[in-house]
């Protein structure tokens, strides 16, 4: 691959914004700050940032199952999902796939097998703009979650797993009424059916959650997977995550859980939509509050891919203690490091030339170009 030069750019490094140029050869950044002004791609004063690294997006499932009971062609769903990610500046993604049977999706394991195969096929055929890996979201109270995990965790494309428990009355759904509102509308339950559903969830948690957590962590650690906790709310839950060798604290629901996770060396991950909206859709702690307290490390787009870029540029405007380089690090170098990807996420010589050219118009970032390993993909 011939050398490329990105000139007249505002380069966002780990700790500064520099005016200048960046050189790329063979898909790798070779120089930063060079001033060969007459050649290369003129960025016209736009920002040039590392390609975004997404650790937890549920959007592949949404493309595969766009309506209840409707399942799209799996490879086509992967391609549509990938195109949306690339247009949002995401060059590395861990597609989150839920395992453990769900009342709304019968035959869950077969659907996950189909999606894993589709991602593998799309990668092998070089159909994809972003670098796709898989994050297994393990719903611990589900009776068959360990069987599902055993079926999939050794696939080379699987790099992360999270241990989750969405039982009403704790963690994400500390307020049972929030759980009731979400699921009753989704499942069209009567009040009596909803009461029975909640009772069943409590029984499943008591029977399965703890033993499934132990089994999945043992298998996953032996395979070298990166583990995340999910919705920790109490000091006891954080202590359990630390003892279990978890590296990322996804969506802690309280300030104390976020503070203790951060202090223990877990990377605290919150949803980018929480930053953009200014609040959690579940009524839990605000990501802005955690950023202001200095305990927010990583952002995830969660359910809106473009929110990742939007939140990174909005955060310094909303929280004065967070600089633009620090906010961009939350979507690039820090998630890359947490996932064990030391070859990307920062504008320094020797790293992959995963790059995004961004222009701000009325405060909203506009993606003007995306490059993965030096090759333009969007």
Question: Do residues 28 and 175 both lie within one domain?
Answer: no
Q: What pTM was estimated for this model as a whole?
A: 0.91
Number of domains observed in the structure of the chain: 2
Average pLDDT over every residue of 273-300: 89
What is residue 286's predicted lDDT score, i.e. its pLDDT? 92
Question: Do residues 43 and 56 both lie within one domain?
Answer: no
What is residue 37's predicted lDDT score, i.e. its pLDDT? 57
CATH of the domain at 39: 2.30.40.10
What is residue 200's predicted lDDT score, i.e. its pLDDT? 77
Q: How confident is the model at residue 362 (pLDDT cuts 50, 70, 90)?
A: very high
Question: Do residues 59 and 148 both lie within one domain?
Answer: yes
Residues 6+ away with beta carbon under 8 Å from 201: 141, 167, 168
Q: Lowest-confidence range among 46-50, 171-175, 267-271, 360-364?
A: 171-175
Query: pLDDT (tens digit, 9 = 90+) per residue, 122-139?
Result: 999 999 999 999 999 999
CATH of the domain at 151: 3.20.20.140
What is residue 191's predicted lDDT score, i.e. its pLDDT? 78
Average pLDDT over every residue of 22-35: 90
Query: pLDDT (tens digit, 9 = 90+) per residue, 165-214?
Result: 866 655 666 666 767 766 666 667 787 877 777 777 777 777 888 999 99
Query: pLDDT (tens digit, 9 = 90+) per residue, 203-260?
Result: 777 788 899 999 999 999 999 999 999 989 999 999 999 999 999 999 999 999 999 9
What is residue 68's predicted lDDT score, i.e. its pLDDT? 81
Question: Do residues 189 and 337 both lie within one domain?
Answer: yes
* pLDDT for 107 beyond 90: no
What is residue 204's predicted lDDT score, i.e. its pLDDT? 77
Average pLDDT, the chain: 92
C-alpha angle 258-88-16 in degrees, rounded to nearest 5: 65
Question: Do residues 378 and 272 both lie within one domain?
Answer: no
Question: Do residues 224 and 291 both lie within one domain?
Answer: yes
Q: Lowest-confidence range among 3-7, 53-57, 320-324?
A: 3-7
Question: Do residues 218 and 332 both lie within one domain?
Answer: yes
What is residue 240's predicted lDDT score, i.e. its pLDDT? 95
Q: How confident is the model at residue 46 (pLDDT cuts 50, 70, 90)?
A: very high
Question: Do residues 252 and 264 both lie within one domain?
Answer: yes
Question: Do residues 311 and 359 both lie within one domain?
Answer: no
Which structural domain range is residue 364 located in? Answer: 1-50+346-378
What is residue 197's predicted lDDT score, i.e. its pLDDT? 74
Query: pLDDT (tens digit, 9 = 90+) per residue, 2-11?
Result: 679 999 999 9
Question: Do residues 338 and 362 both lie within one domain?
Answer: no
Question: Do residues 1 and 63 both lie within one domain?
Answer: no
Average pLDDT over every residue of 337-360: 98
What is residue 207's predicted lDDT score, i.e. its pLDDT? 86
Q: How far apart are CA 200 and CA 363, in angstroms?
A: 47
Cβ burial, residue 68 (10 Å; 0-12/13-18/19+)? exposed
Question: Do residues 66 and 85 both lie within one domain?
Answer: yes
Q: How far apart are CA 293 and CA 222, in angstroms?
A: 35
Query: pLDDT (tens digit, 9 = 90+) per residue, 149-166?
Result: 999 999 999 999 999 986
């Amino acid at each position: 691959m011939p050398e490329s030069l990105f000139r007249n750019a505002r380069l966002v490094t780990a700790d500064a914004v520099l005016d200048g140029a960046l050189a790329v050869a063979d898909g790798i950044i070779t120089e930063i700050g060079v001033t060969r002004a007459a050649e290369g791609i003129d960025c016209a004063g736009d920002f040039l940032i590392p390609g975004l690294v997404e650790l937890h997006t549920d959007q592949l499932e949404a493309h595969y199952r766009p309506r209840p009971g409707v399942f799209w062609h799996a490879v086509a769903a992967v391609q549509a999902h990938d195109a949306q990610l690339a247009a949002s500046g995401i060059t590395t993604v861990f597609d989150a796939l839920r395992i453990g049977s769900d009342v709304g999706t019968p035959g869950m394991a077969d659907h996950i097998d189909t999606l894993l195969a589709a991602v593998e096929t799309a990668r092998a055929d070089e159909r994809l703009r972003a670098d796709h890996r898989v994050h297994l979201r393990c719903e611990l109270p589900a009776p068959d979650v360990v069987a599902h995990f055993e079926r999939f965790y050794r696939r080379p494309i699987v790099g992360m797993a999270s241990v989750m428990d969405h039982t009403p009355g704790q963690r994400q759904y500390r307020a049972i009424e929030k759980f009731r509102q979400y699921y009753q509308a989704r499942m069209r339950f009567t009040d009596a059916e909803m009461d029975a559903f909640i009772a069943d969830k409590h029984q499943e948690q008591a029977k399965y959650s703890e033993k499934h957590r132990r089994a999945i962590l043992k298998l996953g650690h032996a395979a070298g997977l990166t583990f995340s906790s999910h919705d920790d709310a109490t000091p006891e839950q954080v202590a359990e995550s630390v003892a279990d060798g978890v590296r990322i604290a996804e969506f802690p629901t309280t300030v104390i859980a976020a503070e203790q996770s951060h202090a223990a060396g877990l990377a605290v991950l919150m949803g980018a939509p929480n930053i953009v909206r200014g609040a959690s859709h579940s009524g839990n702690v605000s990501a802005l509050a955690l950023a202001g307290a200095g305990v927010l490390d990583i952002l995830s787009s969660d359910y809106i891919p473009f929110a990742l870029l939007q939140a990174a540029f909005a955060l310094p405007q909303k929280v004065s203690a967070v600089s633009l380089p620090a906010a961009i690090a939350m979507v690039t170098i820090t998630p890359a490091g947490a996932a064990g990807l030391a070859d990307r996420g920062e504008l320094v010589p020797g790293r992959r030339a995963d790059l995004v050219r961004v222009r701000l118009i009325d405060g909203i970032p506009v993606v003007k170009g995306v490059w993965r390993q030096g090759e333009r993909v969007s």
